[in-house]
Amino acid sequence: MPASTRRRAGAALATVALTAAVAAVAGPAVAGAAVPAEPGPKTAFSFAVIGDTPYGASAVAEFPEHVAQLNADSSLDFVVHVGDIKNGSSECSDAYFEQVRADFDRFTHPLVYTPGDNEWTDCHRANNGAYSPLERLGKLREVFFDRPGTTLGATMPVRSQSELGLPENVAFTRNRVAFAAVNVPGSNNATQPWTGRGEAVPNQAQLDEVAHRTDAVIAEIRKTFAEARQRNDRTVAVFQQADMFDPTYAVPWSDISAFTPIVEALVEEARAFDGEVYLFDGDSHVYNVDRPLAAGSPWLTRYGVAGSAENLTRVTVDGSSNAKNYLRVSVAPNGAAGIGAPVLTWERVPFRG
């Protein structure tokens, strides 16, 4: 039996009972439909964020143990992986994708995964196999997003942009907190030339993909905020791979210019939202918390953005050689019990070993 067939069969057996339970309260997950209704009572809960892992052979070997530790954390309702499932100098092979998918299938919590640049944008590099990045993006969607409208790991319904060809862009809600995970990779939002394939400038197919994906990302961000305002949600949390405000080096404009429309949308939507907004990312590998779009931030000038968003907090998770922990984010109770408390708080939980 092919590996992909075994994978789908095992996932179906493992999740059929949970799928039925969720469907009873949330209804069917339909791509492009409204955000699925949240299951269960409105109590406090937690979720985990990881990213830029596993990097290299030793990390690949350790990753199943990290999954097991996350599974053992009963406080978690779900886990988010913000992209880069390999390092930037290893091959983007089908076999590697299948191996990581098998590890992802070990999750007993729902797993939301959004791609990073290392697993598609940068696959043109010779030491990555000199693949076509667009072909690798298609393969990622085939391997990791074969069930649009549901998560990896345990089944949780999500709204998907599969009707636009972007099943990886998803949204859902829980305890009056709106969540969206969108495909915004590093390498300047996938606009950097495919030099490993002998191309000195971006080609038209590449630019067309960037334009389509960016438009879809912005549409999802705006829809998530619109629905959050309509429901009177407490908080909006957006997840992506790219660090658009990287504090770890002197960032040239050629590394960030293509993020401008996304930054503009975040400023506009956050300013119009009466609550806290969080942007979780990876990419730069070093834990960081800041407010890059607050008044006076140099990033507003760099991007030429009008206005500011005082209520947006950016959180970067540890990755690469720093991926020794996961970020456990706790969500305050919805209702009287949560009044006066921050909606989101978090801690870095070390992985064992």
Strand 76-81 and strand 110-113: the pairing is: parallel
Candidate CATH numbers 3.60.21.10, 3.40.50.1220, 3.30.2130.10, 3.40.50.12780; the one for domain 3-350: 3.60.21.10
Average pLDDT over residues 242-271: 97
Name residue, tokens 């099943």.
167
Assess whether pLDDT exceeds 60 at residue 20. Answer: no
Between CA 211 and CA 152 the distance in angstroms is 27
| Nearest alpha-carbon partner for 224 in 182, 283, 252 | 182
Express each pLDDT in 293-345 by its tens digit: 999 999 999 999 999 999 999 999 999 999 999 999 999 998 766 778 899 99
Nearest alpha carbon to residue 240 among 341, 112, 148, 144: 112
Instruction: Give SS3 for 73.
Output: coil
User: pLDDT by residue (tens digit) across 73-99?
Assistant: 999 999 999 999 999 999 999 999 999
pLDDT one-digit tens code per residue, 23-39:
332 333 334 566 665 55
Q: What is the pLDDT of residues 112-137, one digit of tens each?
A: 999 999 999 999 999 999 999 999 99
Name the phi and psi angles at 217, rounded to 5. -60, -45
> Helix %, strand %, coil % for the chain, to 5?
40, 20, 40
Encoded amino acid at 36, one letter? P
CA distances from 94 to 34, 195, 280 (A): 33, 22, 28
Q: Which residues pair with 278 in a beta bridge?
A: 237, 313
Parse the chain into domains and list their residue ranges.
3-350
